[in-house]
Amino acid sequence: MQYHPGIRIDSIPVSGLPGLMFAAATIIMFMGGVPAIRELFLITGPAGIAWSGILYYWHHQTRW
């Protein structure tokens, strides 16, 4: 009998829309199960969205 390593997390592509869906589903799942995360998300959610906008703008304005 040959050993099967199973599903490896590093082989699952999470870029683009699938990655966004994975991140959103993870956030929703934790917000439903852990009440303290809801309060934390109210603070970090807008900060993360603002930071992603800054990074998007910076990467499209600078040419290396």
Instruction: Count the domains in the chain.
Output: 1
State how far Cα 9 lies from the chain centre. Answer: 14
- How much is the pLDDT for 30? 83
Whether 16 maps to a domain, the answer reads no
pLDDT tens for 5-48 read 787 777 777 788 888 888 889 888 888 888 888 888 888 989 99
* CB contact at 8 A, 30 and 38: no
Whether 43 maps to a domain, the answer reads yes
pTM of the model: 0.50
Instruction: From 17, 18, 16, 38, select the one nearest 27 (Cα to Cα).
Output: 38
| pLDDT at 52 > cutoff 70 | yes
Token duo for residue 44: 């970090």
- How much is the pLDDT for 64? 63
Whether 17 maps to a domain, the answer reads no
Which domain covers residue 43, as residue numbers? 35-64
Whether 44 maps to a domain, the answer reads yes
